[in-house]
Amino acid sequence: MRTLGKALIVGILAIATVSCGADVSNTDFNATLVGGGEINLQDQLQNVPVALWFWAPG
């Protein structure tokens, strides 16, 4: 059963990884900067992979 559990976890992670790779090249995304102002990710980071870190002070 342990092998089946590991295989299930690997399968779920593989599906999640593939589904997160959607093409959103035509999507406009504006983000508010911590220091003030905004950035348009489509204009600033065209054709470059982007990792977003969403943070909210608590």
Q: Helix or strand or coil: residue 8?
A: helix
pTM higher than 0.75 for the full model?
Answer: no
Asked if residue 8 has pLDDT above 80, the reply is yes
Half-sphere exposure of 28 (CA within 13 A, CB side): 1
Higher pLDDT, 32 or 17: 32
C-alpha dist (Å) from residue 53 to 8, 11, 20, 31, 33: 28, 25, 15, 11, 12
Q: How confident is the model at residue 23 (pLDDT cuts 50, 70, 90)?
A: low
End-to-end CA distance of the chain: give it in Å, rounded. Answer: 41
| DSSP, res 28 | -
Domain range list for the chain: 30-58
Q: How confident is the model at residue 33 (pLDDT cuts 50, 70, 90)?
A: confident
Contact predicate 40/29, CB 8 Å: yes
